[in-house]
Each structure stands twice: as C-alpha cells, then as structure tokens.
Amino acid sequence: MEIVWKKIKMIFTDKTLRSRILFVLGALVVFRLLASIPIPGIDALKLQAFINNNQFLGVLNVFTGGGLSHLSILMLGVGPYITASIIMQLLTIMSPRLKAMYQEDGEAGRKKFTQLSRMITVPLAVVQALSLIIVLKRQGILGDLSVFGMITNVSVVVAGSILLMWIGELISEFGIGNGVSLIIFAGIVANIPTEFSQFLFTFDMANLPVYILFLAVGFLIVAGVVVVTEAERPIPVTYAKQVRGDKVAGGTQTYLPLRVNQAGVIPIIFALSILLFPQLIGNFLANNSHHILRSISSGLLWFVNNTWVYSLFYFILVFLFTYFYTAVTFDPDQLSTNLQKNGAFIPGIRPGPATRDYIARILNRITMMGAIFLGLIAVLPLVVKAVTGITAFAVGGTALLIVVSVVLDLIKKVEAQLSMREY
C-alpha cells in the first residue's frame, strides 16, 4: 500500500507526468463538449427509442463515444479511422513495401504509414456519414433534408470525425496511452450515470436472479481479461561473455517476456468495426424498390439478427485478428537478429534461424490460447443475451471488455513513465 501511495505522489509531483495527464483530461473534456453538440433537424424522442431498440446502433454508439446517442457532430466517432487502420494493416500482408515502411523504416516510415491511414479515413467517413444519415432520415429521426442540407450535414459529420481523429493522435503524442482507445473509453464511462439511473428506475425484484447473473458474468469478464492480459511466457536469454582488456562484460542471464495476448483489446475493436458494415449496409438497402437489393438487405439483416451465426463470425474474426495483429506488431525474425547482434542467445538454441523458429513456435502456441480466450470473452455477452433476451447486456459486455483493457494499458503506461523517472 505504501508503494501505491508513493507512486500516486510521484504522479502529481513530477511536472512532465502531471502535464501529460492534465493534457489527456483536457482533451477528453473537449471531446465530451463536442459530443453534446447535435446536428440540426433531429427528433430526440424518436432517436432515443430507435437506439434503445437497435443493437447495431447501440454497438456503434460505443465506438462513437456516445456521440451517436445525441446525433452530435461527432456521431461517427473514431470508427472511420479504425477502419482505415485495419485496411492499411491488411495491405502490409500484400505489399512488402508497406510492411517495410511500418516495421523497418523507423519513426519516419510509421509517420508515412499513419498519413496514408488518415487519407483513407476521409472517403470512408463520407460513405459512413451519408449511409447513416439516410438510414436515420428514413426512420423519421431527421427531418426532410434538401440537397444542400444533406451536403451540409455530411460535411459537418465528416469534419467532426477528422477532428476527433486529430484529438486522439494528440493524446497519443502529448499525453499517455493510446488516444483512440481513451476516446472510446471516455464515451463508455460518460454513459455510466445515465445507464445506472435507468437501471434504478426499471429495477424489478422479479428479475433479481438475472441481475445477479449479469453481475457474476461481469466479474468473470474483468477477472479473465486481467489474468490473460498480465500473463506472460518467459524465455530465458543469456548474454555471452566479452573480454575487453582486463574487464569481462556480459555473461548475465535474463528472460524475454512473451505476452499471452500481445494484441490487447485491438482484435475486439477490429472485429466489431468489420461487423458494423453488414448492419449498416442492410439498414441502408432496406425498403429499396429493387428486389435484388432488397434480398441482399434481408440476408444481411438476418445475419445480424441471428445471434448464434453472428456470434460465430464474431468469434472467428476476433481469433483471426488476434493472430494478425500479433504478426504485424511482433516479428520473431527481427527479434532473433537483435539478440544475435547483442551477443545474446537462448540456451540450447542456435542463434539465427533456429532462434527465430523457436520464438515463432512459442508465440503461435500462446497466441492461440489468448485468441481463444479473447474470442470466448467477446461472444459471452451475446450468448447471455440469447438466453435471457435482454439486448442491452450484449452492448454492456463489449463496453466492459474495452474499459478493462484500456485501464490496464493506461496503468502500464503510467508505471513505465514512473520507472523511467526513478532511473
């Protein structure tokens, strides 16, 4: 306990760390203020009823940081930027040049990679804004818009999404933690008072066993995410002795920690971003006069409303994205090369390709366990929803998963800053 209080004291006494934290808080306050500015011509009552009865918009509201629930100028949130990041990272598999830019060209290469992601974000934001506004207009939530009104609303919403992307990048650069994840986290946390007050008004003693089940599953998700996020597989590493004159350097033994879940909560965010598209397209094509487009809409909406099929695809996407993101961010070949250059080796394993294969083999095994667990935790709320019939828990479970992962990542980043200042 004494160590904890010491670290808290260091956070507030260290000028640089305090400035970073205050910058994050200030940026999140600006985000919440902008998220409360609505676009013109909305019917608030119809909007609230539509969101409460639509799981798709409930999940999308999580990604927009609560901006969609008010149809604010930030109603798209960071969704287009996340989708653009997914597209760019998928392209690294097909393009060796992009892969080299992301992994080997250092900070300059990553800046170019990020700039390309920003450029892709703009057309994606235009398509998503136009589709969402048309869907809401058909539901009577938005009034009759002229061509000028439609262009104005789309432009405002796209500009809001780009502004939020910029705020997220500022948080990552001048604050602590991942800016995009913190924006999603802030939107989820901001909705807690509203959700809690609604729960108190609708509390029914007859549903007490269901509430207890929800609480138990919530604790299970929190405990599981904490355990898997913190779990590591240590690989012993020995540094060869080096004689320089009358001095002997090296000869020390340490270990290389491989996390069971290298990707964190990113696979969940990626999978949900992909699964939002069939829901958005299905709603956009609904009531279309062309029978083929209407059939496509019916098929997509059936897929979305069939909890078991949707959960299966959700699990598969989380599983695949866990492997994909781990492969993009962690390169065993580069790690083995760095070990060899620094005169380090794994006992019993030859340096070079043998070390690379050994690390890759261990990484694949532990990533499989992390991917299976993350997939099960992701679909568990959907399964509970299918059993109980309560839609809100599917959204709440996803939000809880993101919140726990972001908090753990933020704690690690703060501890890293404190350790650096101690040294």
Tokens 């709320």 correspond to: 381
Rounded CA-CA distance 165/160 in Å is 9
User: In angstroms, rounded to a whole number, what is the distance separating the alpha carbons of residues 270 and 275?
Assistant: 9
Determine the CATH number of domain 1-203: 1.10.3370.10
Q: In what order do the strands lie in the sheet with 344-345?
A: 253-259, 232-239, 344-345
Least confident of 78-87, 178-187, 265-274: 265-274
Distance in angstroms (rounded) separating the CA atoms of residues 80 and 237: 42
Indicate the pLDDT class of residue 233, thresholds 50, 70 and 90.
confident
Predicted local distance difference test score (pLDDT) of residue 388: 65
Q: How far is CA 213 from CA 194, 210, 241, 385, in A?
A: 21, 5, 58, 11
Pairing verdict, β 232-239 and 253-259: antiparallel
Tell me the pLDDT tens digit for each residue of 278-294: 777 776 676 666 777 77
Q: How many residues does the chain have?
A: 423
pLDDT digits (tens, 9 = 90+) for 292-349: 777 777 777 777 777 788 888 888 988 888 888 888 778 788 888 888 887 788 888 8
pTM across the whole model = 0.76
Residue located via tokens 């690390």 = 359
Select the more confidently predicted residue: 198 or 161: 161
Beta bridge mates, 259:
232
The predicted model gives 11-16 an average pLDDT of 74
Q: Please check whether residue 139 is in contact with residue 71, taking contact to mean a CB–CB distance below 8 angstroms.
A: no
Per-residue pLDDT of 80-138, as tens digits, reads 888 888 788 778 777 777 777 766 666 777 788 788 888 888 998 888 888 778 777 77
Q: Which CATH superfamily is domain 204-405 in?
A: SecY subunit domain (1.10.3370.10)
The reply to whether domains 1-203 and 204-405 share a CATH topology is: yes
**pLDDT-based confidence at 187, cuts 50/70/90?**
confident
Residue extents of the structural domains in the chain = 1-203, 204-405
- Nearest 5°: the CA angle 180, 90, 75 is 35
Average pLDDT over residues 249-271: 77
Residues facing 255 on adjacent strands: 236
Confidence band for 247, pLDDT divided at 50, 70 and 90: low
Residue 55: predicted pLDDT: 58
Give which of 33, 121, 27 is closest to 70, Cα–Cα: 33
